[in-house]
Amino acid sequence: RKLDLTNYTFNVPDQKGILQFMTYDFHKSLEGMLAHPNLGLNGPELLRTMEVVEKVQKAKDEILLNDDDYKLILETCKKFRGFTKNDHVFLKRIFNCASVPDNKIVKFSDNGKER
């Protein structure tokens, strides 16, 4: 799956009702949600989650997720409580993450260079 990690903007009315545009930090939100304390992760769950968090941290504008990593992100979204309307685009991107045919995937080594 290919997940778009680029930031996006949303608006929030200030005290006078004037819309203020805010930047939604996609990386930070995904990283924070995956390892959020309210999920009650045990040791092995946290270790597995941090593997995915580290992959997200290394990625730039998009990330190719294997099935296990994508499933972990989906299941976390289903368990997490406290989303707001500002998270709408975030959730749409995750739940509608595009499949990438196997023959279209470019494999990378650990340092980001093609093999």
SS3 112: coil
pTM value > 0.85: no
Lowest-pLDDT range of 24-28, 35-39, 99-103: 99-103
User: Could you give the dihedral angle defined by the CA atoms of residues 83, 89, 85 and 72, in that order, rounded to the nearest 10 degrees?
Assistant: -10
- Surface-to-core class of residue 95, CB atoms within 10 Å of its CB (0-12 exposed, 13-18 middle, 19+ buried): exposed
For residue 104, the model assigns a pLDDT of 60
For residue 103, the model assigns a pLDDT of 57
Residue 24 pLDDT more than 60?
A: yes
CA distance 45 to 95: 21
b/e per residue 46-59 (b: at least 16 CB within 10 A) = eeebeebbeebeeb
> Beta strands 19-24 and 8-13: pairing type?
antiparallel
Lowest-pLDDT range of 17-21, 50-54, 90-94: 17-21
pLDDT tens digits, residue range 56-102?
A: 999 999 999 999 999 999 999 999 999 999 999 999 999 999 888 77
